[in-house]
Amino acid sequence: MECIKTVKFKIKTADKSFSDTISIYNKALSYIINAVDNEWDTVSTLSTVKKQLNYMEKLIHNTKKNKAKYDFDDRFYKFPSYLRRAAAAEALGAVKSYYSNLKNYLDKKVQYEAKNKVLKEKPPVLGMERYSYPVFYKDNVFERTGNNTAKIKVYKNNDWVWHDIEFKTKNLEHRDMANFKEMNPMLVKSGKKYYLHFTYKKTVKLNKTPLKDRTIISVDLGLTNSAVCSAMKHDGTVIGRLFINQPIEKDRLLHEINKLAKAQRISGIGRKPNLWRKINNLSKQIINDTVHQIIKFAVDYNADVIVFEYLGKLKLKGNYARKMRIKLQYWAKQKIQNKVHDMAHSYGIHLSWVNPKNTSAYAYDGTGKVTRLSKKDLCEFSTGKKYHADLNASYNIGARYFIREILNPLSEKKRLQYQAKVPDIAARSRQTLSSLISLVKAV
């Protein structure tokens, strides 16, 4: 599989022509979207994307042997060929998406009418006006002239000309990007600044370690601790533990959320954008730090799989500040999993998800349900033993992964035989580390 990373480089020598280039590209994109929409009855009958793009190329571009139906070349004089093809591909994707959404809407409307109901959703609309960023293809509209210098073709004084730029360099070694191939950059505007977004690509092979030799990292994403990780072997042996927390950032985040709640009560509109900026930045810092620590822990133990709980729907209870904390935690958990997914694959590590129900409600040693103590980090087993609640949950998460991998290849007859020996494995919501150890002995 391919692993892709994007790195942005700030352009030091910004120019007004950059804005004009992005503007003219979007006008060309809107023009081609309109053309694709007009010709959709014909375009949709073509079997491959390549044939569809070739057909659109003939419709908008004049050659010695071809007279274009649309006056694209006259409207966009000297428009670079690679940018035209990139705009055509993006326009084709936009129109395809629109008609796909329209079909789904009409099918849904028919289902509602069959039940004598009225569909209140509005039909999808094909947006002609776009704000997209052009990709600068190497040798055609982009040429490197040094480590931090290059030439790009921009729209300036009603013409397409080469423009020299200088951008900030970045050390890519600490990102583990030694074997990545640099692809074509994209010119992106953020605020008043311009960046080159370089895409780096690498082909990686995911680990295919046999189950008995497999090492996993089970991750419990919590509230008090950002994450608690356990490195586990096939037989239930725990070979490593990691507690991840950012107390300083979380304390600041709590203060900002309380300020926001107060501002909402007194309708203080002026300060809200600044508060949200601080909240989002703190949340982003917590997410990034958590993800990098999880990946480092997995690499240190040569893990083959990282296991998470599958997150369901978000339920909100309590006052405004409490709801905001829960929301931010939920979004953070989703973003942590997504970012770990992207980073783990660059190391050849798989990701897996298990049933989250009762992972922290049952003791890992098989003694039944636990009682949460007033101190949120701790729980008490039925035997009176006190243990870290999130660590207990991480053991059960890892155990559920191995139980599923052991049972899935088996026939129904074999599975029932093992369930008779280890009754706890019958219900996924009751599986614990003790269940895995008993199952491995039975197998």
114, 136, 159 — which closes off a domain?
114
The separation between CA 413 and the C-alpha centre of its own chain, rounded to angstroms, equals 40
User: Are residues 240 and 376 located together in one domain of the fold?
Assistant: yes
What is the average pLDDT across 424-436?
89
Gap between the Cα atoms of 29 and 88, Å rounded? 7
Gap between the Cα atoms of 72 and 58, Å rounded? 11
Identify the band that residue 218 occupies on the pLDDT scale cut at 50, 70 and 90: very high
Judged against a pLDDT cut of 60, whether residue 268 lies above it is answered with no
Gap between the Cα atoms of 16 and 19, Å rounded? 6
* 367 found inside a domain: yes
Task: Kindly state the percentage of the chain with pLDDT values over 90.
Answer: 51
Identify the band that residue 174 occupies on the pLDDT scale cut at 50, 70 and 90: low
User: Are residues 301 and 432 located together in one domain of the fold?
Assistant: yes
User: Are residues 83 and 223 located together in one domain of the fold?
Assistant: no
How many separate helices (H) and strands (E) can be counted in the chain?
11, 14
Measuring CA to CA, how many Å separate 140 from each of 122, 263, 396? Answer: 43, 52, 55
* 368 found inside a domain: yes
- In the prediction, which pLDDT does 202 show? 80
Condensed to tens digits (0 to 9), the pLDDT of residues 99-126 reads 999 999 999 999 999 989 988 889 999 9
- In the prediction, which pLDDT does 6 show? 84
What is the average pLDDT across 150-157?
91
Identify the band that residue 321 occupies on the pLDDT scale cut at 50, 70 and 90: low
What is the average pLDDT across 130-159?
90
pTM of the model: 0.73
Is pLDDT larger for residue 438 or for residue 257?
438
User: Any idea which residue has 């966009």 for tokens?
Assistant: 76
Q: Which of 197-206, 244-253, 266-275, 420-429 has the lowest mean pLDDT?
A: 266-275
CB 310 within 8 A of CB 353: yes
* 163 found inside a domain: no
User: Are residues 108 and 217 located together in one domain of the fold?
Assistant: no
Angle, alpha carbons 296-300-301 (nearest 5°): 120
* 21 found inside a domain: yes
Q: What pairs with residue 138 in β-bridges?
A: 142
Identify the band that residue 329 occupies on the pLDDT scale cut at 50, 70 and 90: low
User: Are residues 232 and 369 located together in one domain of the fold?
Assistant: yes
What is the average pLDDT across 1-19?
84
- In the prediction, which pLDDT does 377 show? 83
Q: What CATH number corresponds to the domain at position 386?
A: 3.30.420.140
* 139 found inside a domain: no
Tokens of 402: 């191995």
Which residue blocks in 190-319 are alpha helix, DSSP H?
Answer: 247-265, 272-300
Structural domain boundaries, residue 28: 15-114
User: Are residues 105 and 219 located together in one domain of the fold?
Assistant: no
* 286 found inside a domain: yes
User: Any idea which residue has 């037989």 for tokens?
Assistant: 235
Tokens of 313: 């729907």
Closest CA to 264 of 272, 273, 276, 256: 272
134-173 burial, b at 16+ Cβ within 10 Å, e below that, comes to bbbbeeebbeeeeeeebbbbbbbeeebeebebebeeeeee
What is the average pLDDT across 336-356?
89
63, 89, 114 — which closes off a domain?
114
CB neighbours of residue 218 within 10 Å = 30
Total domain count for the chain? 2
114, 143, 164 — which closes off a domain?
114
- Residue 425: DSSP 8-state: G
CB 313 within 8 A of CB 359: no
72: exposed, middle or buried (Cβ count in 10 Å: 0-12, 13-18, 19+): buried
Q: Which of 22-26, 59-63, 136-140, 267-271 has the lowest mean pLDDT?
A: 267-271
Condensed to tens digits (0 to 9), the pLDDT of residues 400-419 reads 999 999 999 888 888 888 88
CB 6 within 8 A of CB 199: yes
Condensed to tens digits (0 to 9), the pLDDT of residues 219-250 reads 998 877 889 999 999 999 999 999 999 889 88
Gap between the Cα atoms of 145 and 149, Å rounded? 5
Instruction: Output the average pLDDT for the chain.
Output: 87
* 173 found inside a domain: no
Task: Kindly state the percentage of the chain with pLDDT values over 70.
Answer: 92
What is the average pLDDT across 254-273?
72
Is pLDDT larger for residue 384 or for residue 202?
384
User: Any idea which residue has 């927390």 for tokens?
Assistant: 245
Is pLDDT larger for residue 97 or for residue 272?
97
User: Are residues 99 and 215 located together in one domain of the fold?
Assistant: no
Closest CA to 334 of 402, 283, 391, 297: 283
* 68 found inside a domain: yes
222: exposed, middle or buried (Cβ count in 10 Å: 0-12, 13-18, 19+): buried
